[in-house]
Structures are given as C-alpha cells and as structure tokens.
Structure 1
Amino acid sequence: MVTSLATYIALPGTTAEAMEHWHEVFGGELEIARYGDMDLQGMPFTPDPQAVAHATLTLPGGIIAGGDAMDDGTDYPVRGTAYSLLYTADSPDEARELITKLLDGGGSDGMPFERAPWGDWYGQVFDRYGVMWAFSSPGA
C-alpha cells in the first residue's frame, strides 16, 4: 500500500448525496459503502442500514473520503471555513467552470474568483452542503 493523505469529512446524513454531487462536478471514481452492506457483528451501536459507513471520491489530484456523522445529537455546523477543500486547477477557465457547477448545484459565492495579490487566481464558493471550496490557478 502506498502512503497517502486524504481529506475526510463527516456530514449529517448527506454524505451519499454530497459525494454524488461532487462526482458530477469533478468526475473521478466514486465508491460508497453503506452499513446495510456490511457484517455489523461487534459494532458498539446499531447504525441506520442506509447510512454511509465510508465513501471515497478518487480524483487525479487526491481523494475525498467521508461518511455520515454518527454523533449523539451534537450539532456540528458544516458551513464555515473549518471544513474547506482547496482545488488547484490547471487554468482559470477550468476553475471558473467548476465554480459555476457548484453554484448551479445550489451553492453560494464566498469570495470572487480573481487575481490574488500573490499573482495566482483564487476564490471561494460554498456548495449546497455548506462545504467551502477554495479554488486556485496559476497566474501565468
């Protein structure tokens, strides 16, 4: 096995929907495993069989992994900057296309995508699940 680092996010029962949406936007290979598809002997709790135990979206530049949050009713807000993903596109046009797909999918603007003081392009958008996507692209 190759050592790697993946982003992991636990969403409040919307992981499958979010992963499918991100798959539509970014492409890649999506795998979703639900608790109902597994042998749950020895589990310390009985999860909803439709809940996502583990999902991965493998993209050329990395992996987004996640599952449905299994909490005790604690409210962990998703919208904000604590959960954010940075996507570096090959060109400003590619970044704009992805931003448009997230906005058209129910997202909202966070920061305009424009030339940043350091010379590259940068902007932010919140998807319909409250996850902040930061986009960058080389300035040259």
Structure 2
Amino acid sequence: MASRLNPYISFNGDAREAMEFYKSIFGGTLALSTFGEFGNDGDGADKIMHGMLETDDGYTLMGADTPPGMPYTPGDNITVSLSGDDADVLRRYWEKLSGSGSVSVPLEKQMWGDEFGACTDKFGISWMVNIGAPQS
C-alpha cells in the first residue's frame, strides 16, 4: 500500500456526532471504537477513542475525543483540504460543510483560475475546497 495522508481531528466529547456528520456528507464506512471497548470503565467510557471514516471516493478521515486530562485546542492546528475537478461533488460538500458553520472565503473563482473557498464547520474545523479549472 502506498503512503497516505490522513487528517486526524481531536474533539471535545462530540467525536461520535462529528464523525457521523462527516459520514452524512461524504458517505462511506465509519468505524468507531470507544474507550470502554479498550478497558476504560470510568468516566468517558462511551467516548470515542478512535474513529475512521473511509469514503467511496478514497478519502480517509480519522478522529477521536480528547482523553480526560489532556488539553483540547479546537480547530487551530488542522485544516482539511478537498480538491479536484469533480465540481458537482465538491460544491455539494462545500454547501454541507459551510451551511452550519462560517465562511471566511466564499467559494468562487480565484485569480489562479480555480474555484476556491474556506470555511469553518459547526465543530470548529477549518476546511478549504478547491475546484480545478477545466483544462483547455
């Protein structure tokens, strides 16, 4: 298997909801494991120790709840970039990601010829979407 770059996002107790939200956008197979499944019977046993979404388009997104006692810094250390030339699919992702979040750069044609937008979703995660300009 070739090397892959997989974004891994830390959440503050809402990893299950976030990963299910991303599955509703991208589709695919979502696998979630809780801390309790790995022997933690105390507080947070039902929280996500590891989640992995593998989409039919070949994306892999991983995430987990931050374990108790560890610092949580939402969204300032990760941005997920989606790019390609399937404009309809990428626009659909953009609408769903930005719809309940905030837009910092509207999805529109940029000086380099592509459509590009940047947003933060309702979980505080930053996203960039780049739709490649048709090649002539």
| TM-score of the pair, normalised by structure 1 | 0.82
Which residue type is aligned with residue 72 of structure 1?
G
2:34 equivalent in structure 1? 34
TM-superposed CA distance for 1:61, in Å, is 2.9
Q: Helix, strand or coil for the counterpart of 2:122?
A: coil
Pairing 1:6-21 to 2, within 5 Å after superposition: 6-21=6-21
Stretches (4+) displaced over 6 A: none
Gaps of 5+ in 1: none
8 Å CA contact 2:54, 2:60 repeated in 1: yes
Contact in 2 for aligned 1:35/1:47 (Cα 8 Å)? no
Determine the structure 2 residue equivalent to 1:77.
Answer: 74
| Structure-to-structure mapping, 1:34-113, within 5 angstroms | 34-38=34-38, 40=39, 48-59=44-55, 60-72=57-69, 74-78=71-75, 80=76, 82-104=77-99, 106-113=100-107
Q: Counterpart amino acid of 2:108?
A: E
Q: Distance in 2 between matches of 1:71 and 1:48?
A: 8
**Match of residue 127, structure 1, among 106, 109, 121:** 121
Residue 129 of structure 1 aligns with an amino acid whose one-letter code is F
Contact 2:11 2:72 in 1 (8 A): no
The DSSP-based 3-state class of the residue aligned with 1:130 is coil
Structure 1: distance between partners of 2:48 and 2:25 = 20
Q: What is the Cα deviation at residue 119 of structure 1?
A: 1.5
1:116 correspondence with 2:110 = yes
After TM superposition, give the deviation of residue 20 of structure 1 in Å: 0.2
Aligned counterparts of 1:83 and 1:128: Cα–Cα separation in 2: 15
Separation in structure 1 between the aligned mates of residue 7 and residue 102 of structure 2, nearest angstrom = 22
Structure 2: distance between partners of 1:61 and 1:134: 18
Verify the 8 A CA contact 1:23 1:57 in the aligned structure 2: yes
Secondary structure, aligned partner of 2:24? helix
Percent of counterpart pairs with the same letter?
27
Unaligned runs of 5+ in 2: none
